Structure formats: structure tokens, C-alpha cells
Amino acid sequence: MSDHLDFTHETRPVRVVFRPGAATGAVATETARLGLRRLLVVCGARGADTARAVADALGPACAGLHDGALPHVPVEAADRVVAVARAAGADGCVAVGGGSAIGLGKALALRTGLPLIAVPSTYAGSEATAVWGLTENGAKRTGQDAVVQPRAILYDPQLTHSLPVALSVTSGINAIAHAAEALYAPDRSPLIALMAEDGVRAMAGALPEVAADPGSPRARGRALYAAWLCGSCLGATAMGLHHKLCHVLGGGFGLPHAETHTVVLPHVLAHNAPAAPEALAVLARALGTGDAPRALHDLAARLGAPTSLAELGLKESDLTAAAEQVAAQTYPNPREVTVPGVLALLRAAHAGDPPSGS
Ligand code: NAD
């Protein structure tokens, strides 16, 4: 921690229940606590069985189940969920699933003001933020609004046992990215720094155990705990070059979310390292290494995750356009963002080289 303390920390009123079985065991009491009596349960097609169990656990307080969540929340999906919620007379929403399902719940909250309860089944972290996203005509708009921040989060590690190992690893590294950029965010606080460090430590420790034994309650519990910490960092701070670059690569070039985060993170951290030595030192301590970018690259490789943008389908001829888009935007980053600088790290990430400086 820096000697010179100067920070602002805001705690939002979110109730977090972390317990194996919470998805079905606590949903009725937690929604009743909020005074809600007619809940629309939303999910994606693949998560419908789990969401059905949550809907059943709500009993008469369930106003319906809608499995229309799609990646990046197309505006048409948002229109549909609003119509379904209105027709059902819903007074709240329970979103069950990954960032896509929770994103649909947020779109409903944004349009109608209905309170949202999140039951996450990946490590992406959307449940812990007031950030919404909507995709229209191929372009994703994002914004912040307190109305979309889930009022309660039910973390149930049992829900994540079915998350395939490949997605568990990339989703977990996606979570680490939130903590990593929070460590050099201008609006970080000492509390967020503590959460970030323990989040990275817990996730990096849990992922090899999840990969070795995907049904391990201990490993799944630790990974989801880490996702809570890392998601809280995302919700509390302004993200930098890494998140902006992944947003451009996902939105503009169609690359998959968690996999892109996994490939890009070591390269952005190596790039930012000279301008953020304290953050890199904390990351290195959390990872038990002297070289955090290299350790993250090696962790992904060892667990079979993608390590190059080429294997995710990005064309070499797109690298310059991506670098120009990222350099043209405004966001906080410890090191100045220039086209040649971004292009150099993108070239390494495209080729799957170890992060430079390592
Ligand atoms: P996702 O929600 O699209 O899920 C990925 C895939 O995993 C889907 O096919 C889903 O059906 C499946 N899945 C989810 N949980 C599962 C489980 N337990 N078992 C088996 N399969 C499961 O992806 P994601 O990575 O969770 O979220 C990514 C999306 O969330 C992106 O659109 C991203 O922009 C958004 N996001 C938003 C925020 C925010 O603060 N607004 C934060 C993080 C991510």
C-alpha cells in the first residue's frame, strides 16, 4: 500500500449470499426479503434446467421463466424480455447464468426499473457491477446505471460444477483481469486492492484444481469466491487498456469474450508494467512469482486455454485497425496508449508469443 493515502470508496447496498445450494435454497427468502412477489426468471437456452429449478424453488412467487438470453444482449432480446415481464406482471427478475443471462436481467432493469437478483454460473463478474450492455446493428453500447446493479447475489458453487473446464479456465482468467486492472485504476481504494490481491491468489490457486477435478466442491468454491472478489473490483473501479482492447476485439471483430481476455491479459500487463510497478508487484505476490505477465501466460497454456489471437480467428490484417480503435478512445491507463504500442502487444498476442519483458 502506498504511504500517501487519498481515496474515495463507495459501498453499494448489495446483499451477497455465498453457499452451496443457495440458488434453490435461498432464492425464495432473499426475494421475499426485498418485498418481491412475482419474479420473472431469465436464463439462456443452455441454462434452462438450472433456471427451472430456481423457478420451482420460488413457488408461487415465480411469474414465469424466459430462456431468451443471448450473447452481448441484442436489443431485440431486450425488447422481448420487457414484453414478457410486462405480460407476466413481474415485480422483479432473477437472472440465472453467465454474463449473458445477467446482462438480459440488467437490460430489463434498465428499461423498467424492476429490481434484479443475480445467480451467476460463470466467473465473468457482471453480477457485481452497475454496467449494462446492449448490441444493436452489430455495435455494443455500454453504460452505468445504479438501477441495473443486482440488489442481491446468490453465489452457489454447485451451479458451476457443470461449467466445462475450458470455459472455467478462461472465465477465471477473465475474472483475474478485473482484479489486475483494478490494482492500477485511478479510483482504486485500499479495500479494493486487498480484494484484488486475494481474488487473484484464490483464482490462480483454484483453476488448476478445477481443471484436475471439475467436480471438486473445494476448488469450485474457491473459484467462485475469487470471482466475487474480482467482480467487486470491476464494479468499483474504472478499467484500462486491457478491458478496452477486449471490448474492441469482441464487439468489432467478433472474438469470444473470456478467451480474448485470457490471451490479451499477459500482454497488456507486460506493456503497462513499467508504468505500474506497484500493481505488478502485488500481482506477482498473489501469483507467487517474480513475473506476473509470464505466470498468467503459462497458467493459461498449462491448463489448455488459448494463447494466441490467431487461434481465436483474428486476422493479422485486422491488427492495425484494432490498435487504432483502441488508441482513439479515452479511458484511464497507467501508460500512454499509442497505436505503435498497442500494435506491438497485439502482434505478440496474435502470434502467441510469451509477453515481452518476460
Ligand atoms: P455467457 O454468459 O455467454 O456464458 C458462456 C457460455 O457458458 C454460454 O453458452 C452459457 O450457456 C454457458 N454456461 C454458463 N454457465 C454454465 C454452467 N454453469 N454450466 C454449463 N454451461 C454454462 O458468458 P460469460 O463469459 O459468463 O459472460 C460474457 C458476457 O457478459 C459478455 O457479453 C460480457 O460483455 C458480459 N459481461 C458484462 C459485465 C458487466 O459488468 N456488465 C461483466 C462481465 C461480463
Q: Is 99 in the pocket of ligand 1 (CB under 6 A)?
A: yes
Give the residue, by CA position, lying nearest to ligand 1 atom 27: 99
Q: Are the C-beta atoms of residues 134 and 140 closer than 8 Å to each other?
A: yes
Give the residue, by CA position, lying nearest to ligand 1 atom 2: 98
User: The domain 165-351 is classified under which CATH number: 3.30.70.260, 1.20.1090.10, 3.40.50.300, 3.40.50.170?
Assistant: 1.20.1090.10
Q: How far is the CA of 87 from the centre of ligand 1 (A)?
A: 27
- What amino acid is encoded at 203 in this protein? M
Each as own residue / partner, the long-range contacts of residues 143-147 (CB below 8 Å, 24 or more positions apart, any chain) are 145/110, 146/12, 147/109, 147/110, 147/113
Q: How far is the CA of 143 from the centre of ligand 1 (A)?
A: 18
Q: Is 333 in the pocket of ligand 1 (CB under 6 A)?
A: no
Q: Is 172 in the pocket of ligand 1 (CB under 6 A)?
A: no
Q: Are the C-beta atoms of residues 356 and 344 closer than 8 Å to each other?
A: yes
Q: Is 131 in the pocket of ligand 1 (CB under 6 A)?
A: yes
Q: Is 71 in the pocket of ligand 1 (CB under 6 A)?
A: yes
Return the H-helix or E-strand segment holding 282.
helix 277-287
Q: How far is the CA of 3 from the centre of ligand 1 (A)?
A: 39
- pLDDT tens per residue, the chain (358 residues)? 667 899 998 888 899 999 999 999 999 999 999 999 999 999 999 989 999 999 999 999 999 999 999 998 999 999 999 999 999 999 999 999 999 999 999 999 999 999 999 999 999 999 999 999 999 887 888 999 999 999 999 999 999 999 999 999 999 999 999 999 999 999 999 999 999 999 999 999 999 999 999 999 999 999 999 999 999 999 999 999 999 999 999 988 999 999 999 999 999 999 999 999 999 999 999 999 999 999 999 999 999 999 999 999 999 999 999 999 999 999 999 999 999 999 999 999 999 999 986 4
- Class assignment of domain 15-160? alpha beta
Question: Three cell numbers at 339?
Answer: 497505436
Given the CA of residue 170, which atom of ligand 1 is nearest to it? Answer: 25
b/e for 197-222, b at 16 or more Cβ within 10 A?
bbbbbbbbbbbeebbeebebeebbbb
Q: How far is the CA of 264 from the centre of ligand 1 (A)?
A: 18
Rounded to 5 degrees, φ, ψ at 256 are -70, 145
Given the CA of residue 163, which atom of ligand 1 is nearest to it? Answer: 19
Give the residue, by CA position, lying nearest to ligand 1 atom 34: 72
Q: Is 159 in the pocket of ligand 1 (CB under 6 A)?
A: yes
Give the residue, by CA position, lying nearest to ligand 1 atom 39: 126
Q: How far is the CA of 7 from the centre of ligand 1 (A)?
A: 32
Given the CA of residue 120, which atom of ligand 1 is nearest to it? Answer: 15
Q: Is 240 in the pocket of ligand 1 (CB under 6 A)?
A: no
Give the residue, by CA position, lying nearest to ligand 1 atom 35: 99
Given the CA of residue 44, which atom of ligand 1 is nearest to it? Answer: 11
Domain borders along the chain are: 15-160, 165-351
Given the CA of residue 174, which atom of ligand 1 is nearest to it? Answer: 25
Name the pTM for this structure: 0.97
